[in-house]
Structure 1
Amino acid sequence: MALPRVLVLVLAGGAGGRLQLLTETRAKPAVPFAGVYRLIDFPLSNCQHSQIADVWVSIQQHPTSLAEHLANGRPWDLDRTTGGLMTLPPFQGTERGGWNTGTANSLWRQADLVRAFGADALVVVSADAVYELDYREVADAHLASGAEVTMVTTEVAADDASRYGIVEVDGDRVTGYAYKPDEPATTTATNEVFVFSPGPTLDRLEQLRSELGEEGLEDLGTHLLPAQTEDGLARAYPLGGYWRDVGTVESYWRTHQEFLTPEPPIDLDAPEWPIHTRGGRRSAARVLDDGRIENSLLSGGTRVSGDVRGSVISPGVVVEAGATVVDSVLLPGVRIRSGATVTRAVVDDGVDVGRGCTVGGEGDVALLGRRVQVPEGTEIAAGARYPDPEDD
Structure 2
Amino acid sequence: MNHSLLGVIDATAYHESLEDLLVHRSLAAVPIAGRYRLIDFVLSNMVNSGINSVAIFPKSQYRSLMDHLGSGKDWDLNRKRDGLFFFPAPAVDTMDAELGSFNHFAQHIDYFYRSSQEYVIISNCYTVFSMDFIPVIERHLEMNCDITEIRYQGSSLEVFLLKKSLLIDLIENRHVTGYGCMDDVVKDETSPYTRCEYEYIGFAKKIDCINSYYQTSMKLLQPKVWSELFQKNLPIYTKVKDEPPTRYLKGSNVNHSMIANGCFIEGKIKNSAIFRAVKVGKNTSITNSIIMQKSQVGENCVLEYVILDKDVKIEDNVRLIGDPINPIVIRKGMVQGALMNS
Q: Shared topology, TM-score over 0.5?
A: yes
1:256 to 196, 217, 223: 217
1:123 paired residue number: 121
1:353 to 314, 322, 330: 314
How many Å separate the matches in 2 of 1:205 and 1:272? Answer: 35
Say if 1:268 and 1:131 are closer, same or farther in 2 by CA, change over 3 A: closer
Deviations 1:190-227 (A, max 9, x none): 10111022223432343332365xxx82x432x32223
Deviations 1:326-347 (A, max 9, x none): 0011110111111111111111
1:38 paired residue number: 37
2:159 to 193, 196, 205: 193
2:207 paired residue number: 246
2:169 to 203, 207, 211: 203
How many Å separate the matches in 2 of 1:114 and 1:288? Answer: 54
1:132-211 correspondence runs (5 A) = 132-155=130-153, 188-210=154-176
Say if 1:154 and 1:18 are closer, same or farther in 2 by CA, change over 3 A: same
Deviations 1:136-155 (A, max 9, x none): 22123223322221000001
Equivalent residue letter for 1:280 = K
| Structure 1 position 377, deviation (Å) | 4.3
% of aligned pairs identical?
22
Correspondence 1:227 to 2:188: yes
Contact kept? 1:305, 1:320, Cα under 8 Å: yes
Q: Is 307-316 or 14-23 further displaced after alignment?
A: 14-23
1:55 paired residue number: 54
Q: TM-score, normalised by structure 2?
A: 0.92
- Alignment RMSD, CA only? 2.1
Q: TM-score, normalised by structure 1?
A: 0.80
| Structure 1 position 60, deviation (Å) | 2.1
How many Å separate the matches in 2 of 1:125 and 1:69? Answer: 19
Contact kept? 2:202, 2:228, Cα under 8 Å: no
| Structure 1 position 24, deviation (Å) | 0.8
Deviations 1:5-62 (A, max 9, x none): 2101011132343311101111111111111111111111112211111111112211
3-state secondary structure, aligned to 2:161: strand
1:1-392 correspondence runs (5 A) = 3-91=2-90, 98-99=91-92, 101-102=96-97, 103-104=100-101, 105-155=103-153, 188-210=154-176, 212=178, 217=180, 219-221=181-183, 223-227=184-188, 230-231=191-192, 233-266=194-227, 270-363=231-324, 364-379=326-341
3-state secondary structure, aligned to 1:65: helix
Q: Which residues of structure 2 form unaligned runs of 5+?
A: none
How many Å separate the matches in 1 of 2:138 and 2:108? Answer: 23
3-state secondary structure, aligned to 1:122: strand
Greater RCO (Cα-Cα under 8 Å, separation 6 or more):
2
3-state secondary structure, aligned to 1:235: strand
